[in-house]
Amino acid sequence: MPKLDTHDPHLVDILHRASLEREQQDRRLADIFGTQTVPKVMEETLAISLDYLTQHLEVPCQLTGIESLGCFAWEASYIFGRKRPKEYAQRKKQQPSYTDIYAFLSFAEEYDAYAGLAVKVKRVADSKRFVLPFAHLKAREKPSNNAQLLDDYAVWFVNGRR
C-alpha cells in the first residue's frame, strides 16, 4: 500500500474537516449531558440520552439498518457466504433485515449499559413489529435532524462503552 503524503493539500483538508466534524459532534454530545466532555455510557447517561431523544426525535421517522452486523448479523452468512436466495427470503419475512424500512413507534421502556436504548418499530412492507437496538439504526431522510441524532447516539454508544 502506498504511503500517504501528509503534505498533500487535499488529504490535509479531508483530515481537517474530519477533525472539525468530530469536535462538533463531541460538543453536541457533551451539551446533551451538560458536561465539558462526552461521558461514558452508563445507566444514568442512557436515561439522560433517552429523555433528550424523546424530546427531539421528529416523528414520523423512518429508519433502516446501518449494516449487516449486530441485531442484523444473521444476514452476513447470506450476503458474504452461502448464497441461498430462497432461504434468505424466507428468513427475511420473519426477522428484521438491515435493508428493511421501519416506522419508528416509540422507545422501549427498558435499557441497559450493554445493549443501550431500544426502539419499537413497524416494518413498512408488512407491518411486522420488532424491538431493535437504536444504535443499529439510521434515519432514512438525510440530511435531517433525525439523521444527526441517530448518528450522534450511535457514535456515543459504540465509543462510550469502552
Grid cell, residue 66, equals 446501518
Task: State the pLDDT at residue 10.
Answer: 72
Neighbours of 141 (CB within 10 A): 13
Q: pLDDT tens digits for 70-124?
A: 899 999 888 887 778 899 999 999 999 999 999 999 999 999 889 999 999 999 9
Asked whether the beta carbons of 96 and 130 are under 8 A apart, the reply is: yes
What percent of the chain clears pLDDT 90, i.e. is strictly above it? 71
Task: State the pLDDT at residue 5.
Answer: 73
How does residue 162 score in pLDDT terms, banded at 50, 70 and 90? low
